[in-house]
Structure 1
Amino acid sequence: MGSVPIDDMACRWQRFKCGTGHQTAANHSKMAVLTQTGNARVTIGAMSTPQVLILQHVPWERPGRILSTLEDIGLDTVIMNIANTKKPDLPDFGDLAGVVIMGGPMGALDYDKYPGLKAEGKLAKAAVAVGKPVLGVCLGHQIIATALGGQLRKGDAPEIGFGPIKRVDRHDFFSMWDKQLNVLHWHNDVVGLPEGAQLLARSSATKVQAFRLGSALGMQFHLEVCGSLLDEWLDEPSMVKDLKAAGGSKSQLREQFAQYDQMLQPLAEQVFSGFAARCNSYSQTLSK
C-alpha cells in the first residue's frame, strides 16, 4: 500500500476501518511477529527500538484498529504470544514505548494452564510503575486490573454481542463519548476496580467496563474490531459456539455491527490515537 500514490488521509481512514494495515509488505519492515512455545521462537520481520509490545493470545483476537493506529504514526510494533511460556523471552523492558494486552478465551488467572499470563501481569504492573503506556482489551483489561489489585470473578451471565455501556467519568481518551452507547462485548469473567483507579464506564451486567490507573487504560469491550476482524471471529468455531450459547447468531451480530460501527469508529480512533500519542511521547524519552 505504501507505494501506491493515493491520498494519505483516505488511506489512513480506510486502514482504520478495515484493519488491514498490518498485512501490507511495507509495514513488515516495522513490525515483528513472534510466537513462543517452550523454547521455540519464530520471528517474522525485523525489530527496532523503541517499540510497542502487543501481547496476543489466540490468532483471531488480533489488535485490528489498535495496530493500524500505532503504525499510522510510525511506531514500531512487536506482536508476541507468550501465554504458554513459563519464562518468556520478552523484549528489553527499557526499549518498550508501550504495552498492549489483547483478549482471549482463557481466564486472567489461569496460570497453571497458561503460565505466560503471570508474566503479562508482572509486565503491566512494572510498566504502570514507571509511567509506560499500557492498554488492555477484554482479557487484557482483566490481566491489568488483577495485576494492580482488582478481584476477578465469573460474571452472572456471559456478555456477548452488542449492548449498552454508560460513561461514569470523563477522561481525555473518551472526551467525545456520549453518556451511553452500544459496544461489542465478548466475555464471561468480570473484574473489580483496583484501588486508586478511576472508573470510566460500566454496564448493567459489568460494574467495571473501563478504568484508568496511572498510565494504564483497561476496556472490557472491543473497539478494535473492524468488519474483516469480525468475519475472522465468526469463522472461528469456538467463537460461534459462545455466540450461540448466549442466544445470538452470526446474522444478528453482523446486523448489529452494521448498525453501530459507524458511530463507534470516531470513538475508537480517539481512544487508540490517544494511546498511540502517549506511546510516541514515551518513545521520545527512550531515544534521548
Structure 2
Amino acid sequence: MTHLVVLQHLEREGPARFAEEALRRGWAVTVCRPDRGEPMPRLGPDQALLVLGGPMGVADIGSPSFPWLEGEVALLRECLACERPVIGLCLGAQLLAFAAGGQVVPLMAGEPPVRAYEVGWGPVAWSRTQEQEPVLAGLDAALPALHWHGDRIQLPAAATLLGSTPLCAEQMFRIGHHAHGLQFHVEVTDAALEAWLDEDGDYVRMALGPDGVEQVRAGQGRWGEEGERQGRRLINNLLDRACALLGGYPLM
C-alpha cells in the first residue's frame, strides 16, 4: 500500500486536503509530530514524504527551541539522495530548498527595499507548460492561492522554477523529478483557515493592516471555491507523481 508520511509542526497546520485525497485513493496516512518530541520517521520503499508549514524557519535551525529542524533537514537530504517523492509546503518548501543547497532570506519589496509579507489570496502564474511539467496538467494559467509567509527562497542550482507571484518569484519549484516545493497553501480547508485567522490574527494584521483578517476572509469568499478546485487538481497531480515514482504506474 502506498503510504503518505506527514511531518506536522503545530496543531492548526495539518495535512487537510492532502490527507483527504490520499485517503480517497486508499493510501495510508501517518502524521509525525517532531515538535512534540516524536522521532523522525524511517521511510520505507512505498512511502512518500509531505512536510508541512509552521511559523519557525530556516533561520531557526540550531535553535534549542526547535531541535528537530536539523533532523528534518537530514531526512530531506536523505530523500533527495535516494530520489524519494517529497512535497514541501511553505516551511517544508523552504527546508527542502535549504537541504538541496539553497537559502531562505527575508522577503523584501520596493525601492529602496523594505521588509514585506505575502499574506492572503493571490494568483500563482506558471513559468513552465503542462507539456513540460505533468504536475501542472489540467490547471489554468494561474492558480488563486492562499499565501502566509514573510520569507523568500533562493533556489539551489538543481531546482527548476515552476510558478511565481509578482511579490515573490519562488512560489513553486521542482528538484530532480521527485521533489516539489510550494511556498503557497493548497491544503487549507475553510475550517482550518478560520483557525489560522483566530490563532494568527496578529500576524495577519501586521502584514495587511488593522482590517487584515477581514481582507483574507473577503479573499476566501471571492477565490476560495476556485482555489479549492484547482488546488485539489494540483494535489492529485503531485500524488500521481509520487505514486508513479513509487512504482504504482509508469511515469508520464
Gaps of 5+ in 1: 1-48
Q: Equivalent of 1:241, from 202, 212, 217?
A: 202
Letter in 2 for 1:241: D
Mapped to 2, the partners of 1:200 and 1:176 lie a distance apart of 15
Q: Which residue of 1 aligns with 2:142?
A: 180
Aligned identity (percent) is: 30
Q: Which residue of 1 aligns with 2:55?
A: 105
**Off by >6 Å, runs of 4+ in structure 1:** none
Matches within 5 A, 1:1-288: 51-83=3-35, 85=37, 89-95=39-45, 97-111=47-61, 112=63, 113-156=65-108, 157-170=116-129, 171-214=133-176, 215-236=178-199, 239-246=200-207, 247=209, 248-284=211-247
Gaps of 5+ in 2: 109-115
Mapped to 1, the partners of 2:3 and 2:59 lie a distance apart of 27
Count residues in correspondence: 233
Q: Deviations over 1:115-142 (max 9, x none)?
A: 2111112212211222211001111110
Q: Deviations over 1:249-286 (max 9, x none)?
A: 3232112112112222232122211222334345557x
- Answer yes or no: is the 8 Å Cα contact 2:49–2:85 preserved in 1: yes
- Answer yes or no: is the 8 Å Cα contact 1:196–1:213 preserved in 2: yes
Q: Which residue of 2 aligns with 1:6?
A: none
- Answer yes or no: is the 8 Å Cα contact 1:183–1:223 preserved in 2: yes
Mapped to 2, the partners of 1:223 and 1:78 lie a distance apart of 19
TM (normalized to structure 2)?
A: 0.85
SS of the aligned residue for 1:212 comes to strand
- Answer yes or no: is the 8 Å Cα contact 2:139–2:233 preserved in 1: no
Letter in 2 for 1:245: M
TM (normalized to structure 1)?
A: 0.75
State the superposition RMSD in angstroms: 1.9
Q: Deviations over 1:161-194 (max 9, x none)?
A: 1123321113211123333343211001111111
